[in-house]
Structure 1
């Protein structure tokens, strides 16, 4: 596994303590905190709070990709994302933009985004070309189908093997375009076209995914239905389950965890590190 992740103006050594990516949804309809940070002043305040709590990266998302969500018009996504991206440039933390739209990628890179986090695995026409010449990090995620239909009876013969094969194909395409390997991390896409059983099979296989692809794994399972399915808790009561999921992902080899609850995750990881690494 590569020991370093190039992330725009920043770089990370991927050793010992995993990176914590704080989620900043500037949307009215995200499954967990939709509407809470849609106003720019609240988004800035939340990002500053997460930075203070120990977030290593901030992931800005302007379009909900919850199951059943319809696509958002390009102009509206830009209207939501770009003011937040520009306003947070002085935060001193790498800024990721969560988008699958090529035009948003281009505008975000011009504005200085340090990472592009694409739930569609850079499959949109022109997506790889849009990011190739930049120095931003690239998170390549697996998703079966689209957000509007992905949870309508997803089926796999071998979910782990199929997700690895998909990610390997996308990585090969990116490398062929001249993208440096140390700019890439991968996300198995928990909740994106998977049943609860598929999600936990992938979680248990995190170390295999990392080993076979030779790239750091980002795990994003905070407050998701896979947590609710096991705990029986609604979205607003999934903190304990989300912390357990993050620790399980890290124990299985994840190098980045994408979370809503930064302070609690940072504390949990500090205790995990003290117990496991000394």
Structure 2
């Protein structure tokens, strides 16, 4: 029976990600880490070569390609049945990643940063994730404001969904991510989680990424991102109950097991599409 959720394991091939920057920067280390995440229960591996933490510096296309493509090639050879995702806003990087074995494009800009991205996803038959972000990583946490954060995020996702479908990507190949922590305050994040059912109601599968994020540290007093696993599990279980189906995390094994138990308690609420 298909699982009612999918765990997306994070493979950061970066020197500056907020919780594990530099750990998997080497190609072989990143591939080994991906294999470990798959063994722990990840059915999607999300490979990224540019940090999207607040204030992160931009990475040029050539360097991002150098970081990402060899890792995807290695994971594709080792795990041909697993879904590989590339976390990028650049169409050239996405194209090279798809050539190397990826089948999913996770774009934090919602396919807005590069005007060629939507057509690429459509032409290549890839799956994609449209995420909401206010501004860009370098500026997104500079006093973010909304009239109503859930209404504003929902309206954005509905617009981008319509635009992506119009570009030729079937709706069944599109996921939506409200962008927890991307241009949001603590209260914005909490309100999105409280009213996540309003995002789920748009229709496509919903992706949640709360793993180790700073708002969990503010609630719990845990300054070290690695000590935020309990908060990560709590938010993911609540999101599952609200209808989210894909969970992007660092600590795959623990989150997978928590979601498996929660899904049974909830009555196995239908498989991840």
> Which range, TM-score by smaller chain?
over 0.9
What do you get for the CA RMSD once the two structures are aligned?
1.3
Whole-Å separation in 2 of the counterparts to 1:250 and 1:154: 26
Whole-Å separation in 2 of the counterparts to 1:54 and 1:16: 11
Whole-Å separation in 1 of the counterparts to 2:128 and 2:240: 20
Q: Does residue 108 in structure 1 map to residue 97 in structure 2?
A: yes
| Equivalent residue, structure 1, for 2:87 | 98
2:190 to 193, 200, 213: 200
Q: Does residue 182 in structure 1 map to residue 172 in structure 2?
A: yes
Q: Does residue 165 in structure 1 map to residue 152 in structure 2?
A: no
Whole-Å separation in 2 of the counterparts to 1:135 and 1:126: 14
Q: Does residue 60 in structure 1 map to residue 60 in structure 2?
A: no
Is the CA contact (8 Å cut-off) linking 1:23 and 1:60 kept in structure 2?
A: yes
How many residue pairs end up in the alignment? Answer: 264
Is the CA contact (8 Å cut-off) linking 1:44 and 1:88 kept in structure 2?
A: yes
Is the CA contact (8 Å cut-off) linking 1:26 and 1:43 kept in structure 2?
A: yes
Instruction: Could you tell me which runs of 5 or more consecutive residues in structure 2 were left unpaired when the two chains were aligned.
Output: 269-273
1:233 to 188, 198, 222: 222
* Pairwise CA distance, 1:16: 5.9
Whole-Å separation in 2 of the counterparts to 1:111 and 1:50: 20
Q: Does residue 191 in structure 1 map to residue 181 in structure 2?
A: yes
Whole-Å separation in 1 of the counterparts to 2:100 and 2:196: 33
Deviations 1:148-182 (A, max 9, x none): 00000000001111111111111111111121111
Instruction: Could you tell me which runs of 5 or more consecutive residues in structure 1 were left unpaired when the two chains were aligned.
Output: 1-12
2:11 to 24, 31, 52: 24
| Equivalent residue, structure 2, for 1:135 | 125
Q: Does residue 215 in structure 1 map to residue 208 in structure 2?
A: no
| Equivalent residue, structure 2, for 1:224 | 213
* Pairwise CA distance, 1:49: 0.6
- TM-score, normalised to structure 1, is 0.92
Q: Does residue 257 in structure 1 map to residue 247 in structure 2?
A: yes
* Pairwise CA distance, 1:277: 1.4
